[in-house]
Amino acid sequence: MYCGVSKADFLDEEAPRLENWLKNDRQGKMDYMTNHFDKRLDPRLLVDDAKSVVSLLLNYFPEHTQADPDAPKLSKYAYGQDYHFIIKDKLKELFAFIHEEIGDVGGRMFVDSAPVLDKAWAKKSGLGWIGKNSNLIHPKHGSFFFIAELILDLELEPDGPMKDYCGTCTACIDECPTDAIIEPYIVDGSKCISYLTIELKDELLPNEFRGKMDNWMFGCDICQDVCPWNRFSKPNNIREFQPHENLLHMSKSDWNELTEEVFQELFRKSAVKRTKYKGLQRNVKFLTNSQ
């Protein structure tokens, strides 16, 4: 886990970027992205008298990936148990420690569940830079991290941001099969495979993406897998992030014949439950009919 601190202030740099992104409908049908615009940019609107944002990174890179190269693919972050619950428990421990050491400190914990621009705060606190694929990249461990925050009414010494080390590399842009990275640092969410397979709740996936999904049924890791900085990724050692014993050994036919009972067993505490059985079935059928 990595930890960095930034001052709880208005995100001047991100404000026009977010405004333009929303104005151009890059959020697709994620209507919630248009809510709480001001709160996304100012943590003091989320926590009374907020003074510091403590950003934390938790590695989820797995030791092993799916065995069958022809099987529909699952994003690595979803191999284990749902990160929201695991990280929230860790934040509670950290908050309790702060209270023990310092005394009465007010604040809130955030794990991708409120209008907080996680990557922007992690960047400001020196935990990495935002890559051309819009992911946070740490120079020693790549980008396979969950990001969380404590927003506190406690004055802490802020860390400074680091420089961008993407250089002239365009691997993520070149390899995205749906051309979702429309220009360096700007992702059109409505074209992203992760959006299509998780966030989009339509009964059918758009025909324009037929044959372009690169066999991803839940999420997508392409822009991270091709990033040169991820050669430094190291397997996580968190028990809850280890995959179900059968998950990585599922074959292409296993996924095509997946029953709701097996789905519930495989993903009992998983983020994959967000798509529900019907949603995952939709995705797998779309891939099968595209081949």
Neighbour order of strands in the sheet with 107-110: 2-7, 52-59, 145-152, 107-110
* Marked catalytic residue, from 68, 112, 159, 225: 112
Both tokens assigned to 129: 């830079």
146-147-149 Cα angle (round to 5): 145
Active site residue 225: no
Write down the residue that tokens 């026009």 correspond to: 16
What's the burial of 289, exposed, middle or buried (CB within 10 Å: 0-12/13-18/19+)?
Answer: exposed
Among residues 112, 103, 3, 9, the alpha carbon closest in space to that of 59 is found at 3
In 160-285, beta strands by DSSP E: 181-183, 186-187, 216-218
Residue holding tokens 């059109």?
Answer: 188
Cβ-based neighbour number of residue 89 at 10 Å = 11
CB 228 within 8 A of CB 171: yes
Cα end-to-end distance, the chain, whole Å? 40
Q: How far is it, in rounded angstroms, from Cα 209 to Cα 202?
A: 14
Instruction: Show the tokens assigned to 37.
Output: 């615009």
Residues identified as active-site: 112
